[in-house]
Amino acid sequence: MRVDFAARTDDLPCGLGSGPIDPAMIGAAIGTQSDQMRSGVDIPPLPEIAGGRYTSETMQALEDAWLWRRTWLCAGRESMIPKGGDYFVFRKAGASILVVRGKDGKIRAFHNACRHRGASVVREDCGHAGLLRCQFHSWAYNLEGHLVGVPEENGFPGLDRSERGLLPVRCETFEGWIFLNQNPEAEPLEDFLGEAGRQLTHAAMGDLRVVERRSYRAEANWKVTLDAFLESYHLNTIHPQTAAIMNDAQNSAIHLFERGHAWLASLRRQYLSQDMGEAGQPDISAMHESFRKYAITYNLYPNLVSPIDPVGFPILLMWPVSRTSCEIEIYFLGPDWGEGERPSFYESYFAFFDQLIEEDLSNLASMQKSLDSGFFPGALLNWTERKIYWQHQSMDEQIGRDRIPQEFQVKPVLMADGGMEG
Ligand code: FES
Ligand SMILES: [Fe+2]
């Protein structure tokens, strides 16, 4: 059977288009897509996702070479390096990238490999330096990455300092976030984020403060873990006392953007803070009303998930650690409370969130074991789980379908939703 997927997704009201965010359109999208799910009419079946995608070393090698090193990755907040000379080292997905703020206030990034023999230029995870001096033989670089000091330089006849500066990494910012891309030819971050990025500016993230950073370990492939955060089909079963009391998964809509980004919007049952009965909860006053009315979770390809909420919200990043384990790195953002102690609201907020994450993690290690048993041919996705399909389809597109063994390939059947024009 041939299914016209483009027609399926194109003609649905997408909710947030290129103009101002329109809650009425999100409501219409939720109405249309939920009715479609209830009736079951014209819902196309999605092809299976091969189990081997989560277990094969070939896939892992392809991701290392063609995915992580060739896409924009969220590496941290600008506020982590507020002053000229402040730096941190981004060590995820096999990278070691030095991110440093110059005296001119500009943030730059370099491979953290000395151009003498490749030692780490800085060893600490973060710090402050006027000069970046390699620990091994003391070659020194300024904050712009230029080589400015070489001991016993006469022993390097013909050395041209200007050719042995630190190797730069593309570094651009968005709403207070620092993004890196190891592909020098990459398109600008703004183009990569596209419409999803423009919509996210209405969440007013740029003004928010990092309330807390946490890291969880999942004993499962990073894609097994990410998939669990791309669908709301599991809400009523895994999260009856947490996410399900806030979001109505049966009244929801999905929007697929170019380059693998997407959102999932649901009717809100309650605000997070109302569940906890806390007075004086924070409020992001500049946040657009669409995010108050609807629970909208964005995912930015390849590994970022963020459920936007006016009391504050987490940004989750899934990083591969090994073939069978990953890190869930989380930044919690909230409105700045100025001087003084953090509002007590956050204690109950984090307890609630911990429970929610534990619930999500509860299946993952055993899932990985099942997948690794080799007897699991492939995953069958519900239409409401199509963000997972979109993620995998987009990965194949980026890696290059021809490079992927045929048995692991994802058929390109989904298309990005149209904009609002017309
Ligand atoms: S490796 Fe850095 S100075 Fe020798
Ligand atoms: Fe969940």
Using omega within 30 degrees of 0 as the cis cutoff, is the peptide bond preceding 307 cis? no
pTM of the model: 0.93
Q: What's the pLDDT tens digit per position in 165-186?
A: 999 999 999 999 999 999 999 9
* SS3 at position 190: helix
Quick check: 313 pLDDT over 70?
A: yes
* C-beta of 388 in contact with ligand 1 (< 6 A): no
CA 148–ligand 1 middle distance (angstroms): 13
* C-beta of 141 in contact with ligand 1 (< 6 A): no
Ligand 2 ion local residues (Cβ < 5 A): 360
Quick check: 2 pLDDT over 60?
A: no
Distance of CA 209 to the CA centre of its chain: 18
pLDDT of residue 271: 62
Q: What is the mean pLDDT of residues 274-297?
A: 81
With CA atoms as reference, report the closest residue to 300 among 74, 67, 22.
74
Which domains are seen in the chain, by residue range? 2-67+195-421 (3.90.380.10), 73-185 (2.102.10.10)
CA 361–ligand 2 middle distance (angstroms): 8
With CA atoms as reference, report the closest residue to 32 among 221, 216, 235, 253.
253
* C-beta of 117 in contact with ligand 1 (< 6 A): yes
Q: What is the mean pLDDT of residues 237-252?
A: 87
Residue 10 — φ and ψ, nearest 5°? -65, -40
As a whole number of angstroms, the distance between CA 362 and CA 235 comes to: 13
Length of the chain: 422
Quick check: 331 pLDDT over 80?
A: yes
CA 135–ligand 1 middle distance (angstroms): 7
User: What is the tally of helices (H) and strands (E) in the chain?
Assistant: 11, 19
Shortest-distance ligand to the CA of residue 353: 2
End-to-end CA distance of the chain: 30
Shortest-distance ligand to the CA of residue 364: 2
With CA atoms as reference, report the closest residue to 224 among 347, 368, 390.
368
> Which of 139, 148, 150 to mutate to test ligand 1, by most ligand atoms within 8 A of the CB atom?
139
Quick check: 210 pLDDT over 60?
A: yes
> Which of 96, 112, 116, 159 to mutate to test ligand 1, by most ligand atoms within 8 A of the CB atom?
116
> Which of 96, 117, 161 to mutate to test ligand 1, by most ligand atoms within 8 A of the CB atom?
117
CA 140–ligand 1 middle distance (angstroms): 9
